[in-house]
Amino acid sequence: MADAKKLFIKTYGCQMNVYDSERMAEALGAEGYAPAASADEADMVLLNTCHIREKASEKLYSDLGRLKALKAEKPGLKIGVAGCVAQAEGAEILRRMPLVDLVVGPQSYHRLPAMARAAEAGTKSVDTDFPAEDKFDHLPDRPAANLRPSAFLTVQEGCDKFCAFCVVPYTRGAEVSRPATRILDEARRLADKGVREITLLGQNVNAYHGEGLTLARLIRELARIEGIARIRYTTSHPNDMADDLIAAHGDEPKLMPYLHLPVQSGSDRVLKAMNRKHTAEAYLRLIERIRAARPDILLTSDFIVGFPGETDADFAATLDLIRAVGYGAAFSFKYSARPGTPAADRAPVPDAVADARLQELQALLTAQQRAAQQAMVGRETTVLYEKPGRLPGQMGGKSDHLFAVHVHDPDARPGDLARVRVTEASPNSLGAVRVA
């Protein structure tokens, strides 16, 4: 048999892209493509792109620039662009970068095998459709060898919220929920292959409403699958935190005490300009209700600084909100004007001001994160082992609160759930000893 063709995928951006890259690798795996360790070894390179901020989308063009030299050495190399930049720019990518052989959007990557065959035969193709058929029905079943104890599972895609800064409603399209029966089937198959933890993914995951089921109902159905020990979900919008979902955090033991709930800003003026459709006060009341249901829940968020029109007072309100909530971790970004979004033409905050605000915000968030890590020392938690740690006999995994934890546990295996006591906290991970 001829040597297998090799595929290298580079993934930019969010967890949804990580999941999509795994599924694309599997779709091309069925076409005879084995994974390559680097672009240098590959017959095909796929760049699974992100469009959320200017920096992320520029990376595509700098990486393509670098691939030019490789393609000059290896003319048979095929290059594909997938993900949100593919969706947003489509055929424009082929015009700007003639070395690209195929461009495929996030809703049509089940058609990749045919596009790869065309590329091998010398025909370029672009597919940025939002097809009527569900791509997930046309993808191969997930091979056990590709799965780890913790897996992502996309349940919802797209967004109808139209925050004034965000490209997602344009690149990922309108909100669509996958049918619950399909999700439950996929979860059962994952469990049969040794998956113990499922993270439900969606751009607006708590707006899930497949076959009349809310996200909370879906979580309760998933919790009945025996092999599944833990359930998480991300990313949520505050306005979709329904009562039944909050209640599930209180009484569904498999739902982990962790919630990523982006607020973006603590200023009502800015929230209004962002079209977030809630106030800072409403967010704080919501957090109170979530904590009443699950007192030990760890909260994380996303923040944007330097949104057009943001004043010092607005920024101070964001710092106040952060102090009021106390986050376990957070992502923060400097506003990046995205073409085609409502805020794109508004007068920007000077760059130096935005930079200084970002630094101040990140210092506060880092201090909160360190405090949350330090507060774990001496406490017991449960860890799902994912892979061997750096030292001999060590296992690495995640705690209930999604902290990375390493434990000396020579007899353990990936997929084991261990009760541990945390003994030390460092910025990257917690150290712990097994107690049960």
Contacting positions for ligand 5AD (CB under 6 A): 52-53, 165-166, 262, 264, 302, 304, 333, 335-336, 338
Q: Which does 232 bind (CB under 5 to 8 A by kind): ligand 5AD, ligand SF4, none?
A: none
Q: In terms of CB distance, is 301 or 382 closer to ligand 5AD?
A: 301
Q: In terms of CB distance, is 33 or 333 closer to ligand 5AD?
A: 333
| CA-based torsion, 368, 200, 265, 332: positive or negative | positive
Distance, in Å, from the CA atom of 298 to the CA atom of 402, rounded to the nearest integer, reads 9
Q: Which does 203 bind (CB under 5 to 8 A by kind): ligand 5AD, ligand SF4, none?
A: ligand SF4
Which residues are paired to 299 by β-bridges?
259
Residue 78 Cβ vs ligand 5AD, minimum distance, rounded to whole Å = 30
Q: In terms of CB distance, is 21 or 300 closer to ligand 5AD?
A: 300
Per-residue mark of binding to ligand SF4, 178-207 (x: CB under 6 A): -------------------------xx---
Among 29, 105, 149, 169, binds ligand SF4 (CB under 6 A): 169
Q: In terms of CB distance, is 15 or 394 closer to ligand SF4?
A: 15
Per-residue tokens: 39: 């672009």
Q: What is the CA radius of gyration of the chain?
A: 22
Q: In terms of CB distance, is 203 or 399 closer to ligand SF4?
A: 203
Q: Are 84 and 171 in contact (CB under 8 A)?
A: yes
Q: In terms of CB distance, is 327 or 333 closer to ligand SF4?
A: 333
Q: In terms of CB distance, is 87 or 264 closer to ligand 5AD?
A: 264
Q: In terms of CB distance, is 209 or 346 closer to ligand 5AD?
A: 346
Q: Are 361 and 318 in contact (CB under 8 A)?
A: yes
Residue 361 Cβ vs ligand 5AD, minimum distance, rounded to whole Å = 12
Distance, in Å, from the CA atom of 141 to the CA atom of 125, rounded to the nearest integer, reads 25
HEC assignment per residue over 9-57: EEECCCHHHHHHHHHHHHHHHCCCEEECCCHHHCCEEEEEECCCCHHHH
Residue 264 Cβ vs ligand 5AD, minimum distance, rounded to whole Å = 5
Residue 92 Cβ vs ligand SF4, minimum distance, rounded to whole Å = 22
Distance, in Å, from the CA atom of 127 to the CA atom of 237, rounded to the nearest integer, reads 30
Specify the pairing of strand 156-157 against strand 176-177: antiparallel
With CB under 6 A as the rule, give the number of residues binding ligand SF4.
Answer: 10
Which one-letter DSSP state was computed for residue 342?
G
Q: Are 137 and 55 in contact (CB under 8 A)?
A: no
Contact between 161 and ligand SF4 by CB under 6 A: the answer reads yes
222-261 binders of ligand SF4 (CB under 6 A)? 237
Closest by CA to 180, choosing from 220, 123, 229, 140, is 220
Contact between 168 and ligand SF4 by CB under 6 A: the answer reads yes
Piece in contact with ligand SF4 (CB under 6 A), picked from 115-123, 143-151, 162-170, 180-188: 162-170
Among 38, 137, 162, 351, binds ligand SF4 (CB under 6 A): 162
Residue 126 Cβ vs ligand SF4, minimum distance, rounded to whole Å = 24
Residue 389 Cβ vs ligand 5AD, minimum distance, rounded to whole Å = 30
Q: Are 352 and 324 in contact (CB under 8 A)?
A: no
Closest by CA to 209, choosing from 178, 251, 235, is 178
Residue 328 Cβ vs ligand SF4, minimum distance, rounded to whole Å = 20
Residue 281 Cβ vs ligand SF4, minimum distance, rounded to whole Å = 19
Q: In terms of CB distance, is 204 or 373 closer to ligand SF4?
A: 204
Residue nearest to ligand 5AD (CB): 302
Specify the pairing of strand 125-127 against strand 102-104: parallel
Among 67, 84, 166, 228, binds ligand SF4 (CB under 6 A): 166
Which one-letter DSSP state was computed for residue 167?
-
Q: Are 78 and 112 in contact (CB under 8 A)?
A: no
Burial of 11 by CB count in 10 Å (0-12 exposed, 13-18 middle, 19+ buried)? buried
Specify the pairing of strand 298-305 against strand 329-334: parallel
**Amino acid identity of 276?**
R
List contacts with ligand SF4 (CB under 6 A).
Answer: 159, 161-163, 166, 168-169, 203-204, 237
